Every structure is written in structure tokens, then in C-alpha cells.
Amino acid sequence: MAEGLLRSLYGDSYLVDSAGLVPTSINPYAIKVMKEIGIDITNQSSKSIENFRDEKFDYVVTVCDHAKEACPFFPGNKLIHKGFEDPSTFKDGEEEKIKSFRKIRDEIKDFIQIYFSN
């Protein structure tokens, strides 16, 4: 969701890539709640952080506490961390999961607008 939001809001100012410690498929709930705000992330793919080991980034943003601790060092960058709950771990019913994804989506959007709007 963070990749889609940053691309949508500030893609003209930032080149955006995202990766995870353990690549998985894009969560269907994430796709659904992003479509609700007009952002289609169905063509995004989950990539391994290993794909970017030799890259140099101006910013590396981590969005969960586990990633902050396990994220490898990328030289020449500024590390930005903002922890968000992982909505995919919530075990409630369908409607509660969607509400959880919406909540985290909106929190990520607020963070991106505050930090990257300059």
C-alpha cells in the first residue's frame, strides 16, 4: 500500500521501489481498499529486498518494526522508520479485516503526506 500511495501522491518527485524481507503475493484486502481511493495496485509485485542490495537510495523507508531491525544497510541513504500494524495478521471476520486495512491505509497515507509533501 505504501508503494502505491507514494507513487500516486508524489510519483513525479520520487522514484519508488518497494521490497520485503519475505516476498509474498499482494494481499487482496490491500488491493480492495486501495481501489476504494482510486489507486490500482494489482500490477505491483512483492519483491525481495535482496533484489536491491547493490542499489543506492536517497531514502529507505521501513514501515514495520520487524523490518527496521532486519533491514540491511544501504549506503548513502537516510533511513526513515514509521511502524504500522500489519493488517494481514488480524484474524477477525471479513468486514473487520477490511476495516483494519482501511485504517492502516489511511495511517500510511497521512505519514506519506506529512513526510514527503515537501
Determine the pLDDT at residue 1. Answer: 94
Calpha distance 56→52 (Å, rounded)? 8
pTM check: above 0.75: yes
Residues of the chain by 3-state class (helix, strand, coil), percent to 5: 45, 10, 45
First and final CA of the chain: distance in angstroms?
21
Confidence of residue 19 (pLDDT cuts 50, 70, 90): confident
Domains and CATH numbers, the chain: 2-116 (3.40.50.2300)
Q: 54-105 pLDDT, tens per residue?
A: 888 888 888 876 655 666 666 667 888 888 988 888 877 889 999 999 999 9
pLDDT at 99: 94
According to the model, what pLDDT value does residue 73 have? 65
Higher-confidence position of 54 and 39: 39
Predicted pLDDT of residue 74: 66
